[in-house]
Amino acid sequence: MRVTLGYLVLPLALTAAAGVAQANSDVEKNIANPKNWAMQAGDMYNQRYSKLSQVNAANVNKLQVAWTFSTGVLRGHEGSPLVIGDMMYLHSPFPNKVFAIDLNTNMIKWKYTPKQDPAVIPQMCCDTVNRGLAYAEGKLFLQQADSTLVAFDAKSGKILWSVTNGDPSVGAVNTNAPHVFKDKVITGISGGEWGVRGYVAAYNINTGDLVWKGFSTGPDDEMLIDPSTTTTWMDGKVQPVGADSSLNTWKDDLWKIGGGTTWGWYSYDKALNLMYYGTGNPSTWNPAQRPGDNKWSMSIWARDVDTGKVKWVYQMTPFDEWDFDGINEMILADIPVKGKMTKALVHFDRNGFGYTLDRTNGALLVAQKYDPSVNWATHVDMKTGRPQVVSKYSTAQNGPDVNTKGVCPAALGTKDQQPAAFSPKTKLFYVPTNHVCMDYEPFAVEYTAGQPYVGATLSMYPPPGDKHMGNFIAWDAGTGKIVWSKQEKFSVWSGALATAGDVIFYGTLEGYLKAVDNKGKELWKFKTPSGIIGNVFTYEHKGKQYVGVFSGIGGWAGIGMAAGLEKDTDGLGAVGGYKELNQYTELGGSLTVFALGN
Amino acid sequence: MRTAISRSRILAVVFAAFTALQAGADEPAGGTGLYTVVEGYKVDPATMKGFRAWRAGACDRCHGANQEGLVGPSLIASLKVLTKEEFVKTVTEGRLEKGMVSFKTSKIVMDNVDNLYAYLKGRSDGAITRAKVEELKP
């Protein structure tokens, strides 16, 4: 028995394609003005780059706190506020408060606190985070934890429409930011640890009507895959995926509870009319229960924004055995790749490989380790596109109830959702990374709707011989090489910001906002009230450039920070690491905004 | 449901005591006869089921791989204060506002709630010296 939702939405998708929509001109206008921070990544390419240069490498050491704001919420603060004109829009973790602040007065113009069933709190894997708002045409969009997608009138805070995007009773909740591309607000779903079947869904920004919905697994029509025109990388070339490309890779009907959730940052190329995103881990974490490649979990997707139809798809980690979700952001950049100018898509995967693909057709161009400690695979075979797994680190080959030790990276990935930045000036990517390894012991689990469906016990610690658990790196995506690497004591779990002022910003788990130059030299730092897992953003108001970031420790880093504490089963000396984080920080959400002193 | 739980509870205690005698435990059985443990990690079959329920419920994601607490509280500390009844109620109903799951619909957790209590009590008492236990061989 196959779920039939895909059949229902397909005709809608075709209808939408007929009416050509050009409604993203407002967003385009807003992001073209560097005084705004109008999207979570600053732009539709996910570049996290600002053309502002008032704050630059020569004066950044004179940055001072301009103003601060408490969200009144504990727990992990991911994402960042948006700035459009004189207004700033802030979000918080559960209960997902929204604040509209007038930058002329620093006063709250309106605020909103959703009423949500507390039953969703325990269902949120890895803390009750929310990654922020979207803005278009005077409307503000909030993706609540309980899966309700809400559109507000940005001026008044009046609710214009709201829709239910998932079923929280089975663990389908939301942490991702919604993204507006054209006349659609696009959102995903979380719940890979609850056996949720992933999808992305596009809603009309004016009405909230569902335009299309594409699943990550299952029958072709429900994924909006056309077996003859949707392509993937096989045998060294781009080829049609063929019929039943997902169904063929699952035992029985396990794809129905097979994960492939979609909680990352999406990007959009207007010229190609394609949106890009990644899918997460297959459920459960016990690989023995789900033989096969488990397509299309752990994959990069390119979908037509109007119809949802899949142009191409590429699976990074077939048959995941380590929880290496593929949801990390897809950064679009036009860069030389092996000497040839390329419309590239660059992706730093949890699995430790930095991928460069041709975003027009999904051709695999570069796949190299962006942390030398990565050991679970020797390399990615460029012909098949498959990582070459090292048996010793294969939790499937070692089997259930066996503790596979010393796998690098840990399930946190060499990078998790914390987004990287790209500077068109230097043509380099600036990547916040985790430098953490793990022991992973899978075990058999049974699926019960609405109950955890994990099936592995993990412990995490720094790579043997190392004391630091993070690096902030510069990466050349054209060659797949680390240009420089700056050690951090803890995982760098904060989104980076590159600027035309030749300064790159990122936050640390201890709570420092740091500025480095294009060579990675630290120029300035400031200790904010709590650990930083938010993304750095910048804007200009009344002629002055501001740099801001949420602090508020939490997220998987905040939870995971104590994992491995007092490990009593081995002698790897892992006790240091995250344990010390308690000496630096405590919970508490606030925004700190900086500017140059007068 | 209630009957089934109390029956397995009785069996657990009886069996634990029996196993302890049989195995000629080289350390005194810890706690109040809830569980039997040898060398800190070899436990009676019922307590082993409690450990399996702990894993199946993915309790480690919030309470830590060693029960010492992460985003959720340390169960080493909590089990020193919670009564058995409070423990069962918390597992069954959850504490939603604080992020504690209601395991009411989880068969493995509910069928083994007494065994889970025995396992965690053993950890809290310090008698079970590591989180990962093995079944005591007769």
ipTM metric: 0.85
Burial track A161-189 (b if 16+ CB lie within 10 A, e otherwise): bebebbbbebbbbbbbbbbbbbbbbbbbb
Which residue type sits at B76?
I
- Closest Cα of chain A to B21: distance in Å? 28
Angstrom distance (rounded) from CA A436 to CA A566: 16
Nearest to B71 among A127, A454, A457 (CB): A127
From start to end of A374-446, where are the E strands?
A: 377-380, 387-389, 404-407, 421-423, 428-434, 437-442
Nearest to A443 among B55, B61, B106 (CB): B55
Q: Would you call B64 and A565 a contact, using CB atoms and an 8 Å cutoff?
A: yes
A446 touches chain B (CB under 8 A): yes
Nearest CA among A255, A248, A264, A262 for reference residue A283: A255
Containing H/E element for A101? strand A98-102
pLDDT bucket at B32, cuts 50 / 70 / 90: low
- Closest Cα of chain B to A459: distance in Å? 7
Q: Would you call B68 and A128 a contact, using CB atoms and an 8 Å cutoff?
A: no
The first and second tokens of residue A467, run together, are 């004391």
**CA end-to-end span of chain A:** 68
CB A413 within 8 A of CB A328: yes
Burial grade of A406 (CB within 10 A; 0-12, 13-18, 19 or more): middle
A449 touches chain B (CB under 8 A): yes
Q: Would you call A122 and B68 a contact, using CB atoms and an 8 Å cutoff?
A: no
pLDDT tens digits for range B8-27: 333 334 344 444 444 434 34
- Closest Cα of chain B to A558: distance in Å? 8
Angstrom distance (rounded) from CA A81 to CA A42: 11
Angstrom distance (rounded) from CA B121 to CA A352: 40
CB atoms within 10 A of CB A340: 10
The first and second tokens of residue A35, run together, are 């005084």
Describe the crossing of helices B45-56 and B2-23 by its angle, rounded to 10 degrees: 130
Angstrom distance (rounded) from CA A269 to CA A203: 19
Sign of CA dihedral A285, A286, A290, A294: positive
The pLDDT of residue A6 is 39
Distances (CA, A) of A102 to A80, A99, A186: 16, 10, 27
CB atoms within 10 A of CB A499: 28
A571 touches chain B (CB under 8 A): no
B77 touches chain A (CB under 8 A): no
Residue of A nearest to B97 (CA): A118
The pLDDT of residue B61 is 85
Q: Would you call B94 and A128 a contact, using CB atoms and an 8 Å cutoff?
A: no
Record the pTM. 0.91
Residues 6+ apart with CB under 8 A from A340: none
The pLDDT of residue A578 is 61
Instruction: Read off the CATH number of the domain in which A169 is found.
Output: 2.140.10.10
Nearest CA among A50, A78, A72 for reference residue A493: A78
The first and second tokens of residue A421, run together, are 């930045």
- Closest Cα of chain A to B45: distance in Å? 17
Tens of pLDDT, residue by residue, chain A (598 residues): 444 443 444 444 444 444 444 548 999 999 999 999 999 999 999 999 999 999 999 999 999 999 999 999 988 999 999 999 999 999 999 999 999 999 999 999 999 999 999 999 988 866 899 999 999 999 999 999 999 999 999 999 999 999 999 999 999 999 999 999 999 999 999 999 999 999 999 999 999 999 999 999 999 999 999 999 999 999 999 999 999 999 999 999 999 999 999 999 999 999 999 999 999 999 999 999 999 999 999 999 999 999 999 999 999 999 999 999 999 999 999 999 999 999 999 999 999 999 999 999 999 999 999 999 999 999 999 999 999 999 999 999 999 999 999 999 999 999 999 999 999 999 999 999 999 999 999 999 999 999 999 999 988 888 999 989 999 999 999 999 999 999 999 999 999 999 999 999 999 999 999 999 999 999 999 999 999 999 999 999 999 999 999 999 988 777 655 444 444 333 333 334 566 777 888 889 999 999 998 7
Q: Would you call A448 and B68 a contact, using CB atoms and an 8 Å cutoff?
A: no
The first and second tokens of residue A146, run together, are 């309980």
CB atoms within 10 A of CB A586: 12
For the annotated catalytic residues of A, the residue numbers are 323
Half-sphere exposure of A445 (CA within 13 A, CB side): 31
The pLDDT of residue A142 is 98
Burial grade of A527 (CB within 10 A; 0-12, 13-18, 19 or more): middle
A478 touches chain B (CB under 8 A): no
Q: Would you call A122 and B101 a contact, using CB atoms and an 8 Å cutoff?
A: yes
pLDDT bucket at B35, cuts 50 / 70 / 90: very high
A375-381 long-range CB contacts below 8 Å, 24 or more apart? A375/A406, A375/A407, A375/A408, A375/A437, A376/A322, A376/A351, A376/A352, A376/A407, A376/A408, A376/A409, A377/A351, A377/A352, A377/A353, A380/A353
A323 touches chain B (CB under 8 A): no
CB A189 within 8 A of CB A172: yes
Q: Would you call B58 and A568 a contact, using CB atoms and an 8 Å cutoff?
A: no
Show the domain range for A445. Answer: 5-596
CB atoms within 10 A of CB A460: 28
With vertex at residue A20, the alpha carbon angle to CA A19 and CA A23, rounded to the nearest 5 degrees, is: 115
- Closest Cα of chain A to B13: distance in Å? 26
Domains of chain B: 2-135 (1.10.760.10)
Q: Would you call A568 and B107 a contact, using CB atoms and an 8 Å cutoff?
A: no
B17 touches chain A (CB under 8 A): no
Nearest to B130 among A441, A451, A568 (CB): A568
Phi, psi dihedral angles at B125 (to 5 degrees): -70, -20
Nearest CA among A555, A558, A122, A76 for reference residue B98: A122
- Closest Cα of chain A to B83: distance in Å? 23
Residue of A nearest to B54 (CA): A457
Residue scoring higher pLDDT (A47 or B64)? A47
* Among B48, B54, B71, the residue to mutate for chain A (most A Cβ within 10 A): B71
Q: Report CA A173 to chain centroid distance, whole Å.
A: 15
Q: Please identify which residue in the block is written with the tokens 């909006």.
A: A224
The pLDDT of residue B70 is 78
Angstrom distance (rounded) from CA A431 to CA A444: 36
Nearest CA among A545, A555, A554 for reference residue A593: A545
A-chain CB neighbours of B64 within 8 Å are 562-563, 565
Number of domains forming the structure of chain A: 1
* Among B48, B51, B54, B61, the residue to mutate for chain A (most A Cβ within 10 A): B61
A559 touches chain B (CB under 8 A): yes
Angstrom distance (rounded) from CA A368 to CA A391: 20
Q: Would you call B106 and A448 a contact, using CB atoms and an 8 Å cutoff?
A: yes
Angstrom distance (rounded) from CA A494 to CA A516: 14
Containing H/E element for B89? helix B84-93
* Among A129, A568, A575, the residue to mutate for chain B (most B Cβ within 10 A): A568
Nearest to A445 among B56, B60, B98 (CB): B56
Q: Would you call A446 and B98 a contact, using CB atoms and an 8 Å cutoff?
A: no
Angstrom distance (rounded) from CA B37 to CA A164: 50
